[in-house]
């Protein structure tokens, strides 16, 4: 969906060297706390992984110390109050470390995404600064973070086994998830829910299957174009490692249109009541399928997903029927 409010975040290219170092300090502090929390949460069940997380937290603290030392040397003792969420291009993190039930696989994937993002951040920052000392430190930290990303595959090898380790350690697989699967799933969910009201409002207002199909087609295509452009414009992929914005935009846009067309296509049936019955059945299947997808691929608790998608979609569906009968 298109944003109604302006994006007040700073462009990464506009940051000064002082702001870049301050941002790096804040990022290392946050990452260190996250790794410490992983160690605490997983310590009893996976002591080997907990020890690895403790070591990574200590290394993040060492990175923070080196950044602070250089910052004080160059700019004094007052840091700029800037964080990731203040800069355009950083991916918003889902706080999986706060979930009641945290799996080892979730932690592994989050570690890889965090460290890959940190690696790309330091590479981009090193290219942007002109101070030789700052550039050297940022380059050294980029290399260290790349090593951390590889260590995500070492998390409790004995538990996951060689087969699980092999499947999750492939960078191409992870990149495919970030570039195509996640935007596509978001688009599918958005298209399936957001187009319910116009389709069924048109159906019950006109009683004409052809007109209803045209409204549904227009709503699906419009939502797909909107979602596609929004996804492409939200993140250029340079800092987050999510891949080409064009590919992500296409994935989100196409799947949004597909989600919207799901309950519009039944209106190609000439008989209104048959078409509507089929469309309602499709809607029920869509909403429960989306709840399953959220639970399976986005780690949303199943009944929370049901409340968000099934209940929310049902309200949108009912609104369309009420408006159509007004």
To the question of domain 10-169 being in CATH 1.20.1260.10, the answer is yes
Strand partners, 11: 88
How far is 220 from 197, CA to CA, in rounded Å? Answer: 12
- What pLDDT digit, counting tens, does each position of 105-133 carry? 778 778 888 888 888 899 999 999 999 99
How far is 156 from 172, CA to CA, in rounded Å? Answer: 21
Looking at the chain, which residues constitute the CATH 1.20.1260.10 domain(s)? 10-169
**What is the 8-class DSSP label of residue 99?**
S
Tokens 């699906």 correspond to what residue? Answer: 220
pLDDT at residue 268 above 50?
yes
Tokens 């196409």 correspond to what residue? Answer: 254
Q: 267: closest CA among 307, 220, 309, 207?
A: 207
pLDDT at residue 61 above 90?
yes
Q: What is the token pair recorded at 249? A: 């935009």
Q: What is the token pair recorded at 231? A: 């996804």
**C-beta separation of 17 from 125 below 8 A:** no
For residue 1, the model assigns a pLDDT of: 44
How far is 102 from 40, CA to CA, in rounded Å? Answer: 11
How far is 74 from 29, CA to CA, in rounded Å? Answer: 20
**C-alpha separations of 94 from 6, 49, 74, 75 in Å:** 23, 21, 34, 33
What are the φ/ψ torsions at residue 207 (nearest 5 degrees)?
65, 15
How far is 1 from 243, CA to CA, in rounded Å? Answer: 20
For residue 172, the model assigns a pLDDT of: 57
Mean pLDDT of the chain: 82
pLDDT at residue 170 above 60?
no
- What pLDDT digit, counting tens, does each position of 185-215 carry? 888 888 888 888 888 888 888 889 999 999 9
């Amino acid at each position: 969906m298109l944003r109604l409010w302006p994006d007040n975040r700073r462009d990464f290219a506009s940051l000064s060297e002082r702001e870049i170092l301050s941002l790096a300090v804040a990022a290392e502090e946050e990452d260190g706390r996250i790794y410490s929390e992983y160690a605490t949460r997983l310590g009893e069940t996976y002591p080997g992984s907990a020890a690895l997380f403790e070591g990574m937290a200590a290394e993040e603290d060492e990175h923070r110390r080196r950044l602070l030392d250089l910052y004080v040397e160059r700019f004094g003792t007052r840091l700029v109050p800037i964080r990731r969420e203040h800069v355009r291009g950083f991916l918003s993190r889902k706080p999986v470390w706060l979930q009641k039930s945290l799996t080892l696989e979730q932690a592994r994937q989050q570690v890889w995404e965090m460290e890959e993002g940190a690696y790309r951040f330091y590479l981009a920052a090193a290219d942007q600064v002109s101070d030789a000392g700052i550039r050297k430190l940022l380059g050294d930290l980029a290399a260290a973070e790349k090593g951390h990303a590889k260590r995500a595959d070492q998390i409790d090898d004995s538990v996951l086994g060689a087969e699980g380790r092999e499947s999750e350690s492939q960078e191409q697989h992870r990149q495919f998830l970030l570039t195509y699967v996640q935007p596509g799933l978001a688009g599918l969910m958005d298209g399936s829910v957001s187009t319910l009201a116009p389709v069924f409002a048109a159906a019950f207002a006109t009683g004409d299957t052809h007109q209803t199909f045209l409204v549904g087609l227009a709503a699906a295509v419009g939502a797909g174009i909107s979602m596609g452009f929004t996804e492409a414009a939200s993140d250029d992929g340079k800092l987050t490692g999510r891949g080409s914005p064009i590919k992500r935009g296409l994935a989100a846009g196409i799947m949004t249109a597909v989600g919207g067309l799901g309950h519009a296509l039944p209106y190609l049936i000439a008989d209104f009541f048959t078409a509507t019955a089929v469309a309602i059945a499709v809607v029920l299947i869509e909403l429960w399928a989306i709840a399953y997808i959220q639970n399976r691929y986005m780690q949303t608790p199943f009944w929370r997903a049901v409340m968000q998608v099934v209940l929310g979609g049902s309200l949108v569906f009912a609104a369309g029927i009420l408006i159509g009968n007004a």
